[in-house]
Amino acid sequence: MTKRNKNGGETNETCPCGSGAARRACCGPYLDGAVVAPTAEALMRSRYSAFVEGRREYLLRTWAEETRPQVLELDPEQRWLGLGIRARSAGGPEDEVGEVEFVARSRVRGRGQRLHERSRFRRVDGQWFYVGGTLLGKPPA
């Protein structure tokens, strides 16, 4: 197995999504393709973890076909600092759609960034997909 980043392969590391759980008990099995995320929030968290780990193929695989970008460029200079879930609606194991509102903080070349988004998800054949999102919060002054 290829090591993807400095944290790759450790079994007791905490999950990049900040849940406080071990990676293997949180986003790890989703990222590794062992199981699919059961809820919209679980998928959202695993996609955040995928950004942290630079897992481009996971991001594309969990993106709804109609909104999936042709090419996804990840900025290697972007350091993800934390994820906070603000609100959620539907998105449970029996739902067809769901929304998760979150704030993700990062730093790029010394500049702090804050992404506040309400994301929309859809479940197809038991698998959740990211459909799109609405940016929230104040634009920078």
Residues facing 103 on adjacent strands: 84, 116
Q: Which is nearer to Zn ion, 61 or 96 (CB)?
A: 61
Pick the binder of Zn ion from 6, 10, 11, 17 (CB under 5 A): 17
Pick the binder of Zn ion from 12, 14, 15, 128 (CB under 5 A): 15
Q: Which is nearer to Zn ion, 92 or 137 (CB)?
A: 92
**# of chain residues touching Zn ion (CB under 5 A):** 6
Identify residue 132 by its one-letter amino acid code.
G
CA dist 71 and 131 (Å) reads 16
Pick the binder of Zn ion from 19, 36, 78, 103 (CB under 5 A): 19
Q: Using CB under 5 A, which of the segments 12-20, 29-37, 76-84, 118-126 binds Zn ion?
A: 12-20
Residues in the chain: 141
Cα atoms found within 13 Å of the Cα of residue 13, Cβ hemisphere only: 15
Residue 105 beta carbon to Zn ion: minimum distance, rounded to whole angstroms: 16
Between 23 and 52, how does the x/- string for binding to Zn ion read (CB under 5 A)? ---xx-----------------x-------
Residues 6+ apart with CB under 8 A from 40: 88, 90, 91, 92, 95, 98, 99, 100, 119, 121, 123, 128
Residue 55 beta carbon to Zn ion: minimum distance, rounded to whole angstroms: 13
Q: Which is nearer to Zn ion, 19 or 78 (CB)?
A: 19
8 A C-beta contact, residue 45 and residue 17: yes
Beta carbons within 10 angstroms of residue 17's beta carbon = 25
Q: Which residues bind Zn ion (CB under 5 A)?
A: 15, 17, 19, 26-27, 45
